[in-house]
A and B are shown apart, each in its own frame.
Chain A
Amino acid sequence: MSENLLLKATGIVKQFGGLTAVNNVDFNIPRGSITSLIGPNGAGKTTFFNMITGLYVPTSGTIVFDGEEIQGLKPDAVTTRGIGRTFQNIRLFAHMTALENVLVGQHCRLHASLLGILALTKKVREEEAAAHKRAQELLEYVGLGRSRANELSKNLPYGDQRRLEIARALATNPKLLLLDEPTAGMNPQETDDLTRLMRKVRDELGITVLLIEHDMKVVMGISEHITVLDHGAKIAEGSPEEIRNNEQVIEAYLGRGAAAHGKGGRQTAATGLRT
């Protein structure tokens, strides 16, 4: 069983001063799965992502990725080992073109050395040409045609920016792709397209996907495993079916014993749970 785990996090704790954002969470991602991490606002989902990708160092706990402990590694070292990510609030390189953004994503997979670059050796030229070609392919793969390639990323429509972030993450050649609310702010049509893209990434490219998502229709439709965080603690995990019927989860989303009076986003989310 454990060889089939791509990532295994054990006893993860993260404290910010007095605040415990993630509290003693064990978390597994089976190889080749689409796994979702859900929970109300402020539950600690993004913080958990940031620990996996090296942006935060866990206060305690271990993260084993593909047989190697990665907690405390620098973000670029984590990325090089095969974890790509997107950000909850888009963090593209705003004044670089779409193509350049994807090229940057390939950085850690290119080998041109300083001397090679200065001498512009045949090897470097070929590598650059291949990188450009691959960047184009990735843009097309996520549904951004050639016409968009040379636009500054900040000038792209919102939905395309989200896609571009995914293309950039794919360019790092990840084994595991972390997506932080990729459909946030999208209309239903865009959300459907993006859901299809996520499934395609897993099925065609064989990349394991870890998804943070508030849209329960997406989560329930696409994930094989779901983990629920609330106030930093894991309160449930299992198949979509199990999560849908888990009393604790419903409570977490709606507030204790207040199913009928739940408000706003929580109401919608929980309604999603029930569908």
Chain B
Amino acid sequence: MNPRIRAGLAGGIFGALITLISVDQVVYLAGMLAGTTAGMMVAYMEPQKKWLDGLRQGIQAGLLGGLFIVIAKLLRAILINPLIGDSTDLGGQFMLGLNGLVIATIISAIFAVIATLPRPQDLIGRYAMVAILTLIYPWIDQYFQYRFMGEVIPVLVFVLMALGLNIVVGYAGLLDLGYAAFFAIGAYATAMVASPHFGISLSFWLVIWIAAAVAAIFGVILGAPTLPLRGDYLAIVTLGFGEIVPIAATNLDTFSLSILGFKVIDNINLTGGPKGINPINRPYLPGIGAFQSSQPIPWYYLILIIMIFSIFFILRLRNSRLGRAWTAMREDELAAEAMGINIVKTKLLAFSMGATFSGFAGAFYGSYISAIFPESFRFEVSVMLLCMVILGGMGNIPGVILGGLLIQFADRLFLPQLSNMMQSIISSPQVQLPSSLSFLHELSFASDFRLLLFGITLVVMMLLRPEGLIPSERQRMELHADEEPVVEQQQTEVYTARNQETV
């Protein structure tokens, strides 16, 4: 298929889905997202040298994407709005759709033109563009009254955690099914030193480092017993730790410790038990004051800053001797050891570095929600994080971010909106549900089907694109090795077949 059509289709479907389920003004956001998708994709699949070619290409892909938005807007006006009592003014809805189309085209064209710049500038330009869109988002949100900020912030917290998990799973190749434990540990550490619970109130700006350090230490403590394990066995043990931490948090509300018959600690309430710890102190900045839950913008920028710092540090790790040691260990542990890499140290550093970023996330989340409960850190969280890493592309930061954004937005915004819409359709007087379908009233679609949907997404991904949406180069080559015509490869196999057994 022509790359422009493909890019336009991808952006268009994306934009149309959002348009279909959302109220009027969201069409601008749909246009932005569709344009970004189309523009980036078309520039990647069909790189151009001349900026005019890029412009043409970007406009074509953007227009196609925008067309979908217009159609979606009309469909909604004709089919859905009458049922749920929204505007049925076709002309007005069409105009809104056109606005979406214009925005999609402009943004797609900008991305495509930027991509025609020479090497470092095109990357800088692309990231600058993404940065601008990200930075102005709160104002877009405010201007059009989306009120999505309350969801956008936890989405970013989860993306941050996915980046941390990516160190463990993507870089070092250690399958960790209990990663949410470190999120919990970071959050509880925060709650203990910055809340009325123990009456300690350290500043958030200190606490976030404490939380990260505590999480890192637990990364080592929980990592140590898994050292001799690989693959499935490692996964099972980490799964166990992932379960132990929330259970311990539930039960540590009456904690006693006696050493040699002496009660050292008598009946202390460490974690608040099933009720958790509530409230937790908020960050304070001179000029802004204490952050408020009703004021999402400072939180938004705070988590963005934490994320950017984290990405920055993760990249440094990645390109260092430590990052190389992680990859080497993932590729061939024995050869890595024979090349002078201390496996114990390298594995523990992977666990603790991964945990560190989860510690940041936990500290932020704890003070953002201002409360923590053991229930927030169950297995499901770990699995969701793993899905985010796999969907986007293991071992690749842009991939992990994309995977995280997709899954999280689907979970927190798209599905709830969809289910709201379904509910209003079902309960609208024009719709007469046959009695055999009356059970639909009982379903709350998002919460009942979300795990099923993730499951399906993962299965489809694994079948069609196991390397993820934006794979790291390594990963892509690994999974599609048989598609590459490598003549010498076969030779190698013949020669080595003889000595398969020995080291």
Contact = CB atoms under 8 A, between A and B. Distances in A.
B488 A157 contact: yes
Given A87-B503, A112-B321, A117-B317, A172 B340 contact: yes
Contacts of B477: 95, 152, 154-155
Given A93-B331, A107-B340, A158 B492 contact: yes
B381 interface: no
Contact of A158 (B337, B474, B488): B488
B492 A107 contact: no
Contact of B495 (A85, A124, A131, A184): A184
Interface in B149-189: none
B499 A104 contact: no
Nearest to A155: B486
A118 B317 CA distance: 7
Given A88-B502, A152-B477, A74 B337 contact: yes
Contact of B502 (A46, A112, A128, A154): A46
Contacts of B321: 103, 106-107, 110, 112, 117, 128, 131
Interface string B468-503: 000000110110010010101101101110011011
A61 interface: no
A117 B316 contact: yes
B503 A50 contact: yes
B503 A79 contact: no
Nearest to A127: B321
A105 to B, nearest CB: 5
Given A76-B343, A104-B324, A152-B477, A91 B334 contact: yes
B338 interface: yes
A213 interface: no
Contacts of B337: 55, 74-76
Contacts of A95: 327, 331, 474-475, 477-478
Interface residues of B, number: 42
Interface centre among A92, A107, A114, A156 (most CB of B within 10 A): A107
Contacts of A92: 332, 335
Given A55-B334, A95-B477, A157-B488, A88 B503 contact: yes
Interface string A80-94: 100001011111111
B495 A104 contact: no
Given A118-B313, A124-B320, A158-B495, A87 B335 contact: yes
B339 interface: yes
A96 interface: yes
Interface centre among B313, B319, B338, B481 (most CB of A within 10 A): B338
Interface in B325-345: 325, 327-328, 331-332, 334-343
Contacts of B341: 76, 104, 107-108
A230 interface: no
A80 B337 CA distance: 11
B461 interface: no
Contacts of B332: 91-94
A161 interface: yes
B493 to A, nearest CB: 10
Nearest to B349: A114
Contacts of B325: 104, 107
Given A90-B492, A185-B495, A117 B322 contact: yes
B498 to A, nearest CB: 8
A104 B503 CA distance: 20
A48 to B, nearest CB: 12
A89 B496 contact: yes
A123 to B, nearest CB: 12
B328 A85 contact: no
A208 interface: no
Nearest to B318: A117
Nearest to B501: A89
B324 A128 contact: no
Contacts of A161: 492
B473 to A, nearest CB: 8
Nearest to B319: A128
A100 interface: yes
A120 interface: yes
B499 A89 contact: yes
A227 B27 CA distance: 79
B322 A114 contact: yes
Contacts of B317: 117-118
A114 B313 CA distance: 11
A88 B339 contact: no
Contacts of A120: 316
A184 B484 CA distance: 25
A11 B474 CA distance: 45
A177 B327 CA distance: 24
B324 A100 contact: yes
A225 interface: no
A50 B484 CA distance: 34
Contacts of B489: 154-155
A153 to B, nearest CB: 9
A120 B319 CA distance: 10
A188 to B, nearest CB: 15
A92 B335 CA distance: 7
A35 interface: no
Interface in A141-187: 152, 154-158, 161, 168-169, 172, 181, 184-185
A91 B335 contact: yes
A53 interface: yes
B494 to A, nearest CB: 8
Contacts of B492: 90, 158, 161
Given A89-B496, A96-B327, A112-B321, A75 B338 contact: yes
A76 B335 contact: no
Interface centre among B321, B486, B494, B499 (most CB of A within 10 A): B321
Top-6 shortest CB links A-B: A108-B340, A185-B495, A79-B340, A93-B331, A91-B335, A117-B320
Given A76-B343, A87-B338, A90-B492, 13 more contacts: A54-B338, A85-B338, A87-B335, A90-B496, A93-B336, A95-B331, A103-B321, A104-B328, A107-B339, A107-B340, A110-B321, A117-B316, A124-B320
Interface of A: 46, 50, 53-55, 74-76, 79-80, 85, 87-96, 100, 103-110, 112, 114, 117-118, 120, 124, 128, 131, 152, 154-158, 161, 168-169, 172, 181, 184-185
18 contacts: A55-B338, A75-B338, A76-B339, A76-B340, A79-B339, A80-B340, A93-B328, A93-B331, A95-B475, A100-B324, A104-B325, A104-B341, A107-B328, A155-B477, A156-B488, A158-B488, A158-B491, A181-B499
